[in-house]
Amino acid sequence: MDRLPAVNLLPEAFPRDDLAGQLGFIWQQIKTPLIVPLLKLAVGLCLVFAVLLFMERVYMGIVITYVKWFGRKPEKRYKWEPIKDDPELGNSVYPMVLVQIPMYNEKEVYQLSIGAACGLSWPSDRIIIQVLDDSTDPTIKSMVELECHRWASKGINIKYEIRENRVGYKAGALKEGLKRSYSKQCDYVVIFDADFQPEPDFLWRSIPFLVHNPDIALVQARWVFVNADECMMTRMQEMSLDYHFTVEQEVGSSTYAFFGFNGTAGIWRIAAIEAAGGWKDRTTVEDMDLAVRASLKGWKFLYVGDLQVKSELPSTFNAFRHQQDRWSCGPANLFRKMAMEIIRNKNVTTFKKFYVIYSFFLVRKIIAHIITFVFYCIVLPLTVLIPEVEVPKWGSIYMPCIITLLNSVGTPRSVHLLFFWVLFENVMALHRSKATIAGLLGAKKANVWVVTEKLGSKTTNSKAPKKPRFRIRERLHLTELAFGLFLALVSCYDFVYGKNNYFIFLSLQAITFFIVGFGYVGTIIPS
């Protein structure tokens, strides 16, 4: 029988002996019908989400401008007057206040926080300091307990509380603290993390808002940072957090819409906590969870920007990265669990529900992280390799520049660092994106709590903080190095074969990824 002729499945032009030529031929065959349309779709989606972020920033800018020029201070918007002495009632005219200080192996800062809390000015028989120590190191537990006894010997009403386990992490500790019999007699609870140092007049300035306005559940103070000038990384953190407090928190408070509790440096009405269902540990943002639930019950929140509390910024990259993972993963996971509950709620206005879902969660907590990384670190570089796809200048240059300028209003002293801030934020967007997606998917890591390491600030502690030991595995970050290499190669391609549209930006972004990848981000001191 005659053999059937062989069927040639490959085109005649296919280079059979040249591997590079084969790969190039395959690339040309799939680029036009598949890669180009997909990349155009990705560019289109990124531009849509970037416009949403741009509109959010412009809205915030308009509102904060109006507030600064024409808005009334919190003391004018709400009733505020000092609590007056009453000869007949004596100190009972002052509400009972519980001050909670949750701790976990806080060797470097426990004395600062306990000392600052014990230094609060308030009638001594109307305040209770509660140290909630979840430390696992017996030596540190003994030191914290001894410090509490030292202040108790001075007449301070301070309680040292421990648990058998760390169930619920911080939320569990706060919940257990409110169950104590002496806590039941308190009207308000103030929460300070272990590195926070309130001024003595904190209670005199905050409690009158709660006393004279029964619909207010929370008074949130602003954070200020004692170690902001420690290194370039802390300067970058200060810029981001200053925008959050100066703009985002102020806008949410001034428009009576919504803003999240920052987890510390705030004072709660205990009745509001109980009405909202108490502390829950279903996410790593127990503070935001409580704030959303209390808001859905109709309670109001007040942010007082002039009420400032000193705190410490993470000064090592690992500590900062773990903090950002928690702050990104937690909100996304909470949104996943509460979106329908917010939509169905009938106790608040449609505007507040829209604000919480769209502005607070969707744009700021989800879109902002993902679009920053995907657009500037993936899609934009790919358009260099595939010149058939172009990004309009308004989307790649003009709009991002306006967003960056609007972000600078929180920290005017750092305007000259804006470009470095953009590069650093793009690197951190890698971690935030991964954490956000994990939160949306409900991954196991969404409920893993890693406490932010505190080293103690040189400006507030006479002893210099100990530097962490150098570990090569902790110092190197392979993901950042991989993206740095990718961006470096793309920038070289743009310089040699492209239009040089993004050569400078991609080169500097690659360098930033390398700096972070090799663990040097915490050692660059700003001038």
Average pLDDT, the chain: 88
In the predicted model, is pLDDT for residue 497 greater than 50? yes
| Residue 271 within a domain | yes
Catalytic residue among 133, 287, 289, 325: 287
Cβ contact 278:297 at 8 Å: no
Residue 279 main-chain phi, psi, to 5 deg? -75, 140
- Greatest Cα pair distance in the chain: 120
pLDDT in tens, 65-79: 999 898 888 988 999
Q: What is the pLDDT of residue 411?
A: 85
Residue with token string 């702050």? 327
Q: Count the helices and strands in the chain (H runs, E runs).
A: 21, 7
| CA distances in angstroms from 328 to 70, 115, 364, listed in the order given | 34, 32, 10
Here the CATH number for the domain that contains residue 184 is 3.90.550.10
Give residue 61's identity as a one-letter amino acid code: G
3-class state of residue 268 by DSSP: strand
Q: Which residue has the tokens 């300035």?
A: 205
Q: What type of residue sits at position 181? A: S
- The three-state secondary structure class of 35 is helix
Pick the catalytic residue: 134, 193, 281, 494? Answer: 134
Q: 219-223, 230-234, 375-379, 451-455 — which is least confidently predicted?
A: 451-455
For residue 112, being part of any structural domain is answered with yes
**Residue 458: pLDDT above 70?**
no
Whether residue 461 is predicted with pLDDT greater than 60 in this model: the reply is: no
Does the annotation mark 287 as catalytic? Answer: yes
Closest CA to 100 of 253, 210, 218, 265: 265
Query: How many domains does the chain contain in total?
Result: 1
CA distances to 279, 337, 367, 432 from 370, rounded to whole Å, are: 29, 19, 5, 7
Please compute the mean of the pLDDT values over residues 354-372 and round it to a whole number. Answer: 94
Residue 472 domain flag: no
Whether 134 is a known active-site residue: answer yes
Specify whether the CB–CB gap between 370 and 434 falls below 8 A.
no
Tell me, yes or no, whether 163 lies in a domain: yes
CA distance 227 to 229: 5
Q: For residue 129, what are the domain limits?
A: 75-314
Q: What is the pLDDT of residues 445-457, one digit of tens each?
A: 777 777 777 776 5
* pLDDT tier at 519, thresholds 50, 70, 90: confident
Determine, yes or no, domain membership for 274. Answer: yes
Nearest by Cα to 339 from 360, 311, 313:
360
Q: What is the amino acid identity at position 502?
A: Y
**438 in a structural domain:** no
Q: Is residue 193 part of a domain?
A: yes
**pLDDT band at residue 22 under the 50/70/90 scheme:** low
Residue 426 token pair: 């793009």
Q: What is the pLDDT of residue 317?
A: 86
DSSP letter at 181?
G
Closest by CA to 400, choosing from 376, 382, 364, 435, is 376
Kindly state whether residue 434 falls inside one of the protein's structural domains.
no
